[in-house]
Structure 1
């Protein structure tokens, strides 16, 4: 993951994704991480994953697609740290979130403000 200021890379991070890391998140429980452009829309200083910042998934297009399939798009997508059971460095263990180390989420949490755009690409 790259943390940018305009076109300048300020920091880069190795990340963990959803347990089904290929393809755009479509439905609740599919284990995928959303792909596309969203915004950082909330923060949780009391997260069970150390700290977390929220991603605005689902958007109106995600909602509409899931609705046509008679399913829920899911939600509660965050960038967050790791709980004790995943501090061994295992990758792609989340239910659709983006995981970094606890030290890294502290940096990100301090640098990124609500309203910041985030683009998630395959």
Structure 2
């Protein structure tokens, strides 16, 4: 019974830290989640490793995997977690709050220093097609879908096996923090991302 309650508590924590944008209200943050240095890095473009830039990201939801490409070749492969509502099995994102990960072709529109989920790469969801599909049904397509790192409680990666064995985000794609570091240094605005079922 205690094990079931512990797992339930952990799931509640994971849901609370989803992937929606929430400001950080802490007083002092000297962890890797501190945004001050991160923002300085972004302002100067110092985060980019020009020798190891990638030009495309491809995600396969059923496999729970993200591939990073350079010049048509896979250079990195990372495990991911998806939206809490069944991941690939639930289908494409339809509306705000459905906890599904979208499918389609998008691009990276900006980088965000995140005090809750390490760092994130925002994608261009919803596309015009996503908006039209939602409008036809009288729905809000939602937005703020990112590739992001882990919540603070898993900053050191000790909980990666747990977080990567389930889908827990609000529709985003979550990678381990070491993977986020690699993507952060390799991805510039405009990089294409394909998300497949």
TM-score by length of 1: 0.94
**More helix per residue:** 2
Q: What is the root-mean-square deviation of aligned Cα atoms in Å? A: 1.3
Aligned counterpart, 1:2? 67
For 2:139 and 2:115, the matched residues in 1 are separated by: 27
Q: Which has the larger radius of gyration?
A: 2
Q: Which runs of 5+ in 1 are unaligned?
A: none
TM-score by length of 2: 0.59
Shift of 1:84: 3.2
Q: Which runs of 5+ in 2 are unaligned?
A: 1-65
- Of 31, 45, 66, the residue aligned with 2:113 is 45
The verdict on how the C-alpha distance between 1:47 and 1:116 changes in structure 2, with shifts beyond 3 A counting, is farther
Matched, 1:120 2:188: no
Residue by residue over 1:48-105, the C-alpha shift from the partner in whole angstroms, topping out at 9 and shown as x without a partner, is 2100000100000100111111110000000000103566332210000000011110
Aligned counterpart, 1:103? 178
**More strand per residue:** 1
**Moved segments of 4+, more than 3 Å:** 84-87
Q: Residue 116 of structure 2 contacts residue 152 of structure 2 at CA under 8 Å; is this kept in 1?
A: no
For 1:108 and 1:47, the matched residues in 2 are separated by: 18
Q: How many residues are matched?
A: 122
Aligned counterpart, 2:84? 19
Q: Residue 109 of structure 2 contacts residue 122 of structure 2 at CA under 8 Å; is this kept in 1?
A: yes
